[in-house]
Amino acid sequence: MNFLEERIVKDGIVKPGNVLKVDSFLNHQMDIALMDEIGKEFHRRFKDKPITKVLTIEASGIAIAYPVAREFGVPLVFAKKSKSINIEGEMYVAEVESFTHKNVNQVIVSKKFLSPEDHVLIIDDFLANGCALQGLISIVESAEATVEGLGIAIEKGFQDGGWRIRNLGYQLESLAIVESMDAETGAIEFREQ
Name the site residues for a copy of itself (rule: CB under 8 A): 15, 19, 21, 23-24, 28-33, 35-36, 58-60, 62-63, 66-67, 69-70, 73-78, 80, 82, 84-88, 100-102, 109-110, 112-113
> Residue 192, exposed/middle/buried by CB under 10 A (0-12, 13-18, 19+)?
exposed
| Min CB(19)–a copy of itself separation in Å | 6
In the complex with a copy of itself, the residue whose CB is nearer, 133 or 168, is 133
| Min CB(60)–a copy of itself separation in Å | 8
Distances (CA, A) of 132 to 93, 128, 138, 186, 190: 12, 9, 10, 27, 22
In the complex with a copy of itself, the residue whose CB is nearer, 74 or 166, is 74
In the complex with a copy of itself, the residue whose CB is nearer, 15 or 168, is 15
| Min CB(105)–a copy of itself separation in Å | 11
113: number of Cβ within 10 Å = 15
CB 110 within 8 A of CB 89: yes
CB 148 within 8 A of CB 161: no
| Min CB(130)–a copy of itself separation in Å | 18
CB 86 within 8 A of CB 16: no
In the complex with a copy of itself, the residue whose CB is nearer, 110 or 180, is 110
| Min CB(49)–a copy of itself separation in Å | 18
> d(Cα 7, Cα 1) in Å, to the nearest integer?
10
